[in-house]
Amino acid sequence: MLNHAMRAIEIKTKALKLTKRPIPTPAAHQVLIQVAAAGVNRPDIMQRQGLYPAPQGTTDIPGLEISGTIIATGTAVSHLQPGDVICALVTGGGYAEYCLATASQCLPIPEGLSLIQAAAIPEAFFTVWSNIFDRARLLPYETLLVHGGSSGIGTTAIQLAKAFHSKVIITAGSDAKCEFCLTLGADAVINYQKKDFVTEINRLTENQGVNVILDMVGGDYLPRNISCMANDARLVQIAIQHGAKTEINLLPFMLKRLTLTGSTLRARDDAFKDQIAQKLHQKVWPLLTNGQITPVIHSTFSLNDAAKAHDLIESNQHIGKIILEVRNT
């Protein structure tokens, strides 16, 4: 059945092109998945632009999260078998009809969710959990500020933080995006096109500041973030859309005992990702199953239209996730 090539999307001169590739063979700890759907994320955009190359030894096909059916397993895999329907975090290869995944980073589809919805889970949920709850140690009743609250990461962060009893303030670039974030449970919203978020944060917190900030902007946002951080607050940097460099005043770090940290997920080793998968399955999957939280999907595109999906993300007009329907496209 698998002695043929698969359709896939490759990057050629910073553009996406439909091509044919050999179907990969799983290594000992991997599984081969017939892909039903794949999430589209900003790291895919950066990879296409030449700013975020795939880790050494990883396929150059973009795509960091998938859902689908396992059709083959490596020799060391015992807890999964062909026919299992799963979603998975992958280091690349999602924009294709077949994709390899590390078996320990495959998770069952939460009951009641479609394959399209499941493809929207891994990248955002792994990222949010590892950064907000593990690195920043967000506690119940603390206040979280999320920049880009209407993004896939942002809509996930709102729901998870509220599910674990924290207060959430978000920034977004339109009234419609702000209103949507309120429906997800955000306690306060700031349209950064109309209001200065530092002034608004200080007003909302009575000049006490927020406890944790999840920032995807970077650049000139860093000194502004510092201005609205509470004593012992933690800032987690996960992207740098405004650039990697800025000038800051270190004095508040000492006076307020601030913590600045950050991370990228793709290059982390399997052991790290395995731990996140286990925590998500234990603590978050029940919330997905009972409908307390749900992935937010803006639109879907066929695999052939992957370039249109990238255009939509770059336009910043979407709310939530963009998904490629791979099977039968």
Strands (E) in 125-228, as ranges, are 143-147, 167-172, 188-191, 210-215
Measure the CA dihedral 148/149/153/159, to 10°: 170
Contacts of 214 (CB under 8 A, 6+ apart): 128, 131, 132, 136, 144, 145, 146, 147, 153, 157, 236, 238
**What pLDDT does 4 receive?**
80
Please give the Cα distance from 317 to 258 (Å, whole number): 34
Give the number of residues written for the chain: 329
> What does the alpha-carbon distance between residue 96 and residue 36 come to, in Å, rounded to a whole number?
9
pTM: 0.95
List of domains in the chain: 5-121+266-325 (3.90.180.10), 125-262 (3.40.50.720)
CB-based contacts of 112: which residues, under 8 Å, 6+ apart? 289, 291
Consecutive 10-residue averages of pLDDT for the chain (329 residues): 82 96 97 98 96 91 98 98 98 98 98 97 98 98 97 98 98 98 98 98 97 96 97 97 92 96 92 97 98 97 98 96 86
pLDDT at 222: 96
pLDDT of residue 327: 83
Candidates 313, 295, 259; CA nearest to 153 is 295
- pLDDT on residue 14: 94
pLDDT reported for residue 25: 96
